[in-house]
Structure 1
């Protein structure tokens, strides 16, 4: 929770600062690309590491590295030395840490909770994460009024707190024989994912939908140039999807998804795409916030179904590598989606880029329902129950 709060505040600062330094939509995309490339290059190896080494230690080391990186942003901003190159370099460092952290984190969860509690646990975890996504951007926008250094300093403190909490986490990992680093081992998770149409269909659906429909990178442009608001408005826009996600997670905790999980996932992604179009066409702050609220709620349904299916369909000895594949799909949709949005916006403008992305998401839903019939017909999360 502390780290998620730090990261959400950080994203507000990065977006607003880089756009003010460069006045370029492309620079917003480059921030996402800088965080994405290390994950693309390192995640398969990181999955192997997560299956062969202490996942808790990996997580602690990565969190410590993130703390130091954000501290660099804070110090250079306070001293007036911050440049786009420093921001891109820190984004690369954060992407590298995230590449190793994500597989280890995801692989730990099934060893902490039982299979019958996995879906509720993932729902509450996602709910807590989204709660910080509500508070973080809004708080970050307010703190940024005191300067970027103040924002990054606060993020550094929160990240350090999360590292200290993790240091006291009790986690027991089953001992298993360590495997050497081979091409077969590195690609084992990808091969397993490819052969399981439910897993591959769900994570690729999410990847392409968010890759095309992502509006996160363009929020500074929308806030400043279209809605004519400031950092506080940007914070509200960044918080809105999380508000919708938290409300949906509370509902899902009360009424868990029991049947027809496949059709519900496709409906949720379709709603996400439709609301992306509404957001792109909106010129009013309240309507933009409503569209983002619904997008967040729809995405939460997809996230819970996808995350639970991946964990339940994967044996423990493969979870690190399969989680690595899942992580690279997620980072592709998020960070590469930001880059794609920035490039497209620089080419055709922010509004056409957002609308085109929403239409593309609806197209992905139609194609995936045809290409992955097993996922479209999936009834229950745990077919063994």
Structure 2
């Protein structure tokens, strides 16, 4: 099946290296496409705040609504073929915009359709690749693999906007989208080079005889039955809701309330990527030393506490406090996300990978636009600072639910299982069917 032997370093494992390359290419494609589409809408079609916001919301909406169905598709279709087709279609969808722009026929209907289709393909691919990772690397290497893939994706997030900005400046927004389409084409070729064994059925994939509703229920049952996973999803959804409101208000608050110069605002944004890389470097060692469950319980509240630094900036030392926020939140949220992802991969049966990933991704994604829209509406009424304080408080309370007592047997089993990532297959926690799974990552790119 292409799984890496435990004694082979991941840097020498070809299928895993292909996934790392795919993460870089895909992230560059998404970042370039997002920037170029937004600029085309504003400069080419005269979009106002509502039009630009609607374009962004439409890229998230498919992930929030359709991720469980995407998960069902992932569990029932040949995996390599699915990711190749999805990425190839992504290249064609994005490439249709510069073609229409060159012909003078690009319009709002086209841009909105591209946003919806691109978002659908992006989040389908996200679920599929999460399901693929436990089939590519050994169980004991999942933590290191998730850290490395996050690093690859972050590299694309740093370089993508810069590349997109340069291309838009030189060629215009429409032609710049060709670069996004080309990046997706490269991604498709890398995915096509994955082992053909990924197209083989796993576990009880013969359960395709189940009705779609029964199959979806089987995936949701894992989320309900796994005590750790259920707690993580609920706390992460609440944390995303609070941080989504803070993210939506951040630029307006920094410029209008704090009068932060443009160079300081740019520096604050740039330091988040650096903090993410630090989080990636420490995630593996920290999670191995404390255990995955303990790492998640510690880092989620730390991320919630960091959000209080945003409204605290209104009291003085604005640049220093926002800088500190990005450092603290970037590190804590990264370690938390990697630990949560690895835990999710360890507790989910192999044949349910896609469906569980779909349900988790939907829960995490739907809270981001809800938090952003709710925070914006309340801020117009109450002001930015009260809403930022309330958002941080809600995020912290949600993260703190990880510390609520559970049933003794469940708590003991979860704690013991979370310690076993590097101890050998027999130490890994298993779900009802006994295998592994992965958590939604694309939503993390919103920062």
TM-score normalised over the length of structure 2: 0.74
SS, match of residue 348 in structure 2: coil
Q: Which residue of 1 aligns with 2:232?
A: 202
Partners of 1:233 and 1:81 lie apart in 2 by 40
C-alpha distance in structure 2 between counterparts of 1:295 and 1:57, whole Å: 37
Q: Residue 49 of structure 1: CA displacement? A: 1.6
Instruction: Quote the RMSD (CA, aligned, Å).
Output: 3.4
d(CA) in 2 for partners of 1:244, 1:206:
20
Alignment of 1:175-190 (within 5 A): 175=201, 176-177=205-206, 178-190=208-220
Aligned to 1:38: 62
Between 1:334-343 and 1:173-182, the stretch displaced more is 334-343
In structure 2, the CA distance between the partners of 1:39 and 1:56, relative to structure 1 (3 Å rule), is same
Aligned with 1:272 (options 287, 303, 308): 303
Mean alpha-carbon deviation: is it higher for 307-316 or for 345-354?
345-354
**Aligned 1:157-236 pairs, distance under 5 A:** 157-173=182-198, 174-175=200-201, 176-177=205-206, 178-214=208-244, 215-218=246-249, 221=252
SS of residue in 2 equivalent to 1:257: helix
Larger radius of gyration: 2
SS of the aligned residue for 2:288 comes to coil
Instruction: Give the 3 Å change call, closer, same or farther, for CA 59–304 of structure 1 in structure 2.
Output: same
310-319 or 176-185, which moves further after superposition?
Answer: 176-185
Cα distance in 1 for residues equivalent to 2:347 and 2:52: 36
Give 1:104's aligned residue.
128
Using the TM superposition, name which of 8-17 and 159-168 deviates more: 8-17
Q: Distance in 2 between matches of 1:14 and 1:217?
A: 19
Q: Deviations over 1:114-150 (max 9, x none)?
A: 1111111111111211222223234444544444335
Inter-partner Cα distance in structure 1 for 2:97 and 2:103: 10
State which of 231, 236, 242 in structure 1 corresponds to 2:273.
242
Distance 1:242 1:4 in 2: 14
Alpha-carbon contact 1:19-1:220 (below 8 Å) kept: no
Contact in 2 for aligned 1:275/1:294 (Cα 8 Å): yes
2:122 is aligned with 1:92: no
Whether 2:21 is the aligned partner of 1:2: answer no
SS at match of 2:418: coil
Helix, strand or coil: the match of 1:10? helix
Structure 2 residue aligned with 1:117: 141
Unaligned runs of 5+ in 1: none
Q: Secondary structure at the match of 2:307?
A: helix
Q: Does residue 325 in structure 1 map to residue 359 in structure 2? A: yes
C-alpha offsets along residues 42-100 of structure 1, whole Å, 9 cap, x if unaligned? 22222222111111111112112222232244455667766555443322112221342
2:160 is equivalent to residue 130 of structure 1: no
- In the alignment, is the contact (CA less than 8 A) between 1:2 and 1:159 conserved in 2? yes
In structure 2, the residue matched to 1:310 is: 344
1:31–1:223: structure 2 CA closer, same or farther, 3 Å change rule? Answer: farther
Whole-angstrom distance in 1 between the partners of 2:380 and 2:105: 27
Say how many residue pairs are matched. Answer: 383
Which residue, 141, 152, 176 being the options, matches 2:177? 152
Comparing 234-243 with 325-334, which one deviates more in the overlay?
234-243
- Secondary structure at 1:48 match in 2: helix
Q: 1:34 Cα deviation (Å)?
A: 1.5
SS in 2 for 1:30: helix
**Displacement of 1:171 after TM fit?**
4.2
Paired with 1:354 and 1:81, the residues of 2 have a C-alpha distance of: 42
2:329 maps to 295
How far apart are the structure 2 equivalents of 1:32 and 1:341? 16
2:21 aligned partner: none
**Kept after mapping to 2: 8 A contact 1:211/1:334:** yes
